[in-house]
Chain A
């Protein structure tokens, strides 16, 4: 029980001290589960490795779009390489679920205007 507690505490501390996704494995000697699984999947995933530079780029984009800088670090750390790559394409390009804020009526008006004017 004590040992469990000790492991739990050290894990908790570890989470705060280290930036998980970008920290190299403490022992770079073994091969990671992630690499082995990626090798078994199609070659696609193997190519999806990011450099620190790309993570920094996404983090900066998030800050530019109004996210608090510390929070931006935590967000990027919880993403995989593939997800980071997806975001490097540009935050403006991706679907951002926002919700039903514009009324249906407003959408209809927009559509009508678009049909009449933009075409």
Chain B
């Protein structure tokens, strides 16, 4: 059990008392739990009744994890699945993010799947505080909680307000989460994600690269060029940046500069299936 390894004396009690509570109706713990975290992340319209339509599967009488994640995106928020560590859950809690968890309340063989929201932790009495089901403030011993959570593979997610990264966010995984928003053309939310990432990891070129890609897809090639330049200064070895920069220049009619940038991309990754042919690809488009 992980909780037995936690340095309990180093933790302060925490309880996010302002976390709203939506008592669940029959089988509706998914919509209720998701509404709780979305509301905290600033989605004022979040309500179990509307979320039910988006995540409830009638013939399973429940909601799948992938659907909770997808519905968060539809609410223009960037969901982040945590590392399967008790300490990660606690870190999010201390930074003010209520944590949505999956639990199995019964047996591995006879699962009773349930979603709840962790809102507090009392190290002295070794309890976890949850918004769960019809219970506004359920206290569970660490041991009992971990057992139910362990049976659900320690699955947990947070939905921070736009403009903030999760406390435990790891750069690549966070960028993957934001890039998904970009891929779904949720531009404003994706942009907020890249801006937050740039604040947190100012030396990582991916934020500027992503912002450039958003600008490019909005046909704002001049702005895209600026972002790509910034990215290239942070990571002068990344062929993808020079490749996209070449296109941004090309779209503005700066053909000679574009060819130079394409040549750089090619030089940096000569074996790559895309960047390795950058110059000829660009020539063909001319």
Contact = CB atoms under 8 A, between A and B. Distances in A.
Contacts of A62: 57
Interface string B66-77: 110111011000
Interface residues of A, number: 55
B57 A77 contact: no
A66 interface: yes
A20 interface: yes
A67 B28 CA distance: 15
B217 A27 contact: yes
Interface in B167-190: 172-173, 175-176, 178-180, 182-188
A20 B181 CA distance: 10
Contacts of B180: 34, 80
B142 interface: no
Contacts of B243: 30-31
Nearest to B33: A97
Given A21-B183, A23-B185, A31-B274, A98 B114 contact: yes
B184 A21 contact: yes
Interface stretch (B1-9, B10-18, B102-110): B102-110
A25 B244 CA distance: 14
Nearest to B243: A31
Given A66-B57, A79-B70, A87-B64, A37 B216 contact: no
A68 B115 CA distance: 23
B185 A41 contact: no
Contacts of A25: 217
B176 A15 contact: no
B234 interface: no
Interface residues of B toward A: which range? 35 or more
A29 B111 CA distance: 48
B26 interface: yes
B82 interface: no
A101 to B, nearest CB: 6
A83 B13 CA distance: 36
Given A14-B185, A31-B244, A34-B176, A71 B54 contact: yes
Contacts of A79: 66, 69-70
A44 B53 CA distance: 32
A100 B57 contact: no
Contacts of B62: 95-99
B237 interface: no
Interface stretch (B37-45, B87-95, B118-126, B206-214): B206-214
A66 B59 contact: yes
Interface of A: 7-8, 11, 14-15, 18, 20-21, 23, 25-27, 29-34, 36-38, 40-41, 45, 62, 64-68, 71, 74-75, 77-80, 83, 86-87, 91-92, 94-102, 107, 110-111, 114
29 contacts: A11-B187, A15-B185, A15-B186, A27-B217, A30-B247, A33-B182, A64-B59, A65-B57, A67-B58, A71-B53, A75-B55, A78-B184, A80-B183, A94-B64, A96-B60, A96-B64, A97-B30, A97-B65, A97-B114, A98-B27, A98-B60, A98-B61, A99-B27, A100-B133, A101-B26, A102-B112, A107-B106, A110-B110, A111-B107
